[in-house]
Amino acid sequence: MSRLNLSHLRKMKTEQTKIAVLTAYDASFAHVLEQAGVDVILVGDSLGMVIQGQESTLPVTVDDMIYHTQNVVRGTESVFVIADMPFMSYANSEQAIKNAARLMAEGGAHMVKLEGGAVVADTVKQLTDRGIPVCAHLGLLPQSVHRLGGYKVQGRDQDTADQLVNDALILQEAGADMVVLECVPASLAKRITSEVDMAVIGIGAGSDVDGQVLVLYDMLGLTPGKRPRFTHDFLADTGAIPAAIANYVHAVKSLEFPRQEHHF
| CA-based end-to-end distance of the chain | 39
Catalytic residue among 34, 77, 182, 256: 182
Task: Give the 3-state secondary structure of residue 23.
Answer: strand
Using DSSP bridges, classify how beta strands 111-115 and 134-139 pair: parallel, antiparallel or unpaired: parallel
Secondary-structure percent of the chain, ordered helix, strand, coil, rounded to 5: 45, 15, 40
Burial class from Cβ neighbours inside 10 Å (0-12, 13-18, 19+) for residue 153 reads middle
DSSP state of 2: P
In sequence order, which residues have a C-beta less than 8 Å from that of residue 130 and are 6 or more positions away? 97, 101
Say what the alpha-carbon torsion angle 240, 246, 247, 249 is, to the nearest 10 degrees: 150
Amino acid, single-letter form, for residue 148: L
Give dist(CA 135, CA 193) in Å, integer. Answer: 14
Say what the alpha-carbon torsion angle 4, 258, 159, 128 is, to the nearest 10 degrees: -10
The tally of CA atoms less than 13 A away on the side-chain side of residue 60 is 29
Any catalytic annotation for residue 261?
A: no
Question: Could you give the residue numbers annotated as active site?
Answer: 182
